[in-house]
Amino acid sequence: MTSGNFILVVLGMGAVTYICRWLPLIFFSRHSLPEWFTHWLDMIPAAILGALLLPELVMTGHPRHIELLRPESVAAIPTFIVAILTRSLGWTVIAGMVFYGILQYWFL
C-alpha cells in the first residue's frame, strides 16, 4: 500500500471510529431521552461486558468454535470469586493473571 493510500486509510478509520464515539455523546447529553430508552441503556454495560467476556473465555481459533475447557474459562472461575469477595479491580486483575499463568502451564 502506498503511503498516500495509507494516510487515507488511517484518516478514514479515525473518522468513522470517532463519529461512533462522538455522536451519541453530543446528542444524548443534550436531549432528554424517553424512559424506555434509559431503562434499556441501564442494562447496556452488563450486556456489553457479558457479550465481550463469554466468547473470550470459551471460544477460540480459526474458524471460531466453542472450547469449554481452556485456561481462560477455568481461570475465570476463581477470578469471579476474587472479584465478588474483594470487589477490587486491582486484586482481581492480579489474581486472574496468577490463576491464568498457572493454568497455562497445566494445559500445555
Partner 1 sequence: MMSRFNKPHNGLLSPLILQGITAGWPICLGYIPTGLALGLLSQKAGLTPTEIGLMSLFVFAGSSQFIAVSMISSGAAPLAIIVTTFIINSRHLLMSSSLSVFFRNSGKAVLSLFAYGITDESFAVNHSRFNEGNWGISQALTVNHVSNLVWILSTIAGSYGGQFVPAHAFGIDFALPAMFICLLIFQIKGFAYMVTACIAGIAAVIFSLFISGSSYVMTASILAAAIGAWFHHRSKQ
Looking at residues 37 to 76 of the shown chain, list those that interact with partner 1 (rule: CB under 8 A).
38-59, 64-66, 72, 75-76
Cα–Cα distance for residue pair 7/39, rounded to 1 Å:
41
Count the residues of the shown chain that bind partner 1, applying the rule CB under 8 A: 74
Helices (H), 1-108: 3-30, 35-58, 71-86, 89-106
Q: Which of 36, 61, 69, 106 binds partner 1 (CB under 8 A)?
A: 36
* Binding residues among 11-30 for partner 1 as defined by CB under 8 A: 11-14, 16-18, 20-29
Q: How far is the CB of 79 from partner 1 (least distance, A)?
A: 5
| Axis-axis angle for helices 71-86, 89-106 (nearest 10) | 150
